[in-house]
Amino acid sequence: MTELNPKSKQLDFSGVPGSIILTVALPVLVLFLYLLSNDDYHLVQVSLDFEAVKNIVKNQIIDNWRDCFFNYNCWIAYCSWFFGLAVMDLIIPGKWMQGVQLRDGSKLWYLINGKELSLALITVLLGRIYYIGDFNLPELAFLYENILPLIVTTWEFSIILATFCYIGSFIPLIGKNGKGTKERILAVGGNSGNPMFDWFIGRELNPRVGYWDIKLFCELRPGMLLWFLLNIAYIQKQYLKLGYVTNSLLMVNIFQFIYIFDGVLNEEGCLTMIDITTDGFGFMLAFGDLCWVPMTYSLQARYLSLMEFNLPLWAVVMITVIMLSGFWIFKSANNQKSYFRQGKLPNMKCIQTESGTKLLVDGWWGLAQHINYFGDILIALSWCLTTGFNTPLTYFYVSYFACLLLDRQKRDEAKCSKKYGKYWKQYTEQVPWKIIPYVY
């Protein structure tokens, strides 16, 4: 083992057993959420109708296994979507930006063209509606009618992509890295030597084909934009069924539209996210980006499209206030850190560390160590609240997301305390709250 790629000492998610359990459990959970919220049956309150769920499993999965697990049309559609976006990602002009410094001293270049790509996608969508002359696009109907095989297709696709990246991580680079060798840079946590764990967590830090960065692409394009299209498909379905769209479905769509395009449009901000700077790209991220995000984040919209549920005005106002407050905290905290790191906020109080990096102890970052996570949790809560109190099922997102951010905060704390040592301790003494001021 060389100095560039030390063997992973600490294995996240309880190591090999955890990686096996999660590889099986996460896809099963996505399927389970589908079983409780689909055209044939949806959960009301907590009274689960086992018979109805059993029938769906029998009719849609067991008796229809070939169409469910090897769906030719879904595979063609998904490959066209994924590789079509990849080609657009490579040819649509944008600006070039460097990522953070890697362990070999080099920095990768990224083509930032999210604005141009989003504009192209929305133009095509509006053009199609204009061309058809009605809000009845066959491609959206295809999405709606094939949610189950699409869940399976994106899951299978993630397995293949993670395997491709895992095998690729053993092939020496064509050019030389920053240290003058042909070694690929592996993720600190993905080089355990156990194939199952490394495949799951991601062995290589930044798998690439040419300058096409697979991790950043998956993080922002096929999954996030499929989530947007699924949401629109749910609106179309309800519009065709009821002749109008309920205010609850409209709200969750507007809120999530803002969130999705904020991510896609501000992709340079992603270059400093833990996923990009620290995590390897394996099954966990591939599945998370390609299957989990579009299929579970759109759960509220799917659930609302199945019924006629309108919120009273006071609830609309209250939920909007929660969403806007969350978005304000999330955006301004992330921007503040980003501007500060770019040297644009020189007068803010900070701790100068030995590594040359400064830790902010002022503004949002003086209130809590991860105040941006608090904003994100409020946003998640507002999406769930649009579904009223019809069932706890639609609150799955905020519960899962709070756990995810809690885990991230713990992992980040371990990373920062190792990286900054006594300076991190000094920071936590000055800013003791981790996510929510005066609560946690």
- C-alpha span between 431 and 440 (Å, rounded): 11
> What is the DSSP-derived secondary structure letter of residue 204?
B
Choose which of 97, 129, 416, 436 interacts with ligand NDP (CB under 6 A): 416
Closest distance of CB 221 from ligand NDP, Å = 15
Closest approach of ligand NDP to the CB of residue 59, in Å: 33
CA proximity to 42, closest of 347, 355, 392, 323: 392
Any contact of residue 245 with ligand NDP (CB under 6 A)? no
The two most distant CA atoms of the chain are separated, in Å, by 66
221 touches ligand NDP by CB under 6 A? no
Smallest separation, CB 171 to ligand NDP (Å): 29
Beta strands in 58-216 (DSSP E): 95-101, 107-112, 208-209, 212-213
Q: DSSP code of 64?
A: T
Near ligand NDP by CB under 6 A, which window of 57-65, 137-145, 309-317, 368-376? 368-376
Among residue numbers 328 through 347, which ones bind ligand NDP (CB under 6 A)?
330, 334, 337
- 10 Å Cβ neighbour count for 397? 20
Binding flag, residue 273, ligand NDP (CB under 6 A): yes
Report if residue 73 touches ligand NDP, rule: CB under 6 A. no
The Cα–Cα gap between 8 and 192 comes to 5
Among 365, 396, 397, 423, binds ligand NDP (CB under 6 A): 365
Measured from the CB of residue 269, what is the shortest distance to ligand NDP in angstroms? 8
CA dihedral of 212, 217, 222, 227, whole degrees rounded to 10: -170
Task: Decide: is 376 part of the binding site for ligand NDP (CB under 6 A).
Answer: yes
Instruction: Enumerate residues 125-154 that contact ligand NDP by CB under 6 A.
Output: none
Residues 312-331 touching ligand NDP, rule: CB under 6 A, are: 330
Tokens 């978005």 sit at which residue?
327
Q: Which stretch binds ligand NDP (CB under 6 A): 26-34, 54-62, 138-146, 408-416?
A: 408-416
Nearer to ligand NDP, 305 or 372 (CB): 372
Radius of gyration (Cα) for the chain, nearest Å? 22
Among 199, 373, 395, 423, the residue binding ligand NDP under the rule CB under 6 A is 373
Angle between helices 422-430 and 396-420 (to 10 degrees): 130
Pick one of 208, 302, 370, 434: the residue that binds ligand NDP (CB under 6 A).
370
Handedness of CA 218, 267, 296, 189 (dihedral sign): positive
Which residues have C-beta within 8 Å of that of residue 62, sequence separation ≥ 6? none
For residue 346, the minimal CB distance to ligand NDP (Å) is 14
Distance CA 333, CA 320 (A): 20
The end-to-end CA distance of the chain, in Å, is 40
Among the listed residues 67, 116, 183, 412, the single contact to ligand NDP using CB under 6 A: 412
For the bound state, the minimum distance from the C-beta of residue 84 to ligand NDP, rounded and expressed in Å, comes to 24
Q: Which is nearer to ligand NDP, 310 or 409 (CB)?
A: 409
* Residue 227 binds ligand NDP (CB under 6 A): no
Six-digit token pair at 269?
A: 């901000």
Question: Which of 257, 389, 267, 416 lies closest to 323 in space, CA to CA?
Answer: 257
* Least distance from ligand NDP to the Cβ atom of residue 364, Å: 9
- Indicate whether 372 belongs to the interface with ligand NDP (CB under 6 A): yes
> Which are the contacts of 169, defined by CB distance < 8 A and separation ≥ 6?
184, 186, 198, 203, 204, 207
Question: If binding is defined by CB under 6 A, does position 359 make contact with ligand NDP?
Answer: yes
CB of 401 to ligand NDP, least distance (A): 7
Binding-site ranges for ligand NDP (CB under 6 A) = 273-274, 330, 334, 337, 357, 359-360, 365, 370, 372-373, 376, 408, 412, 415-416, 419
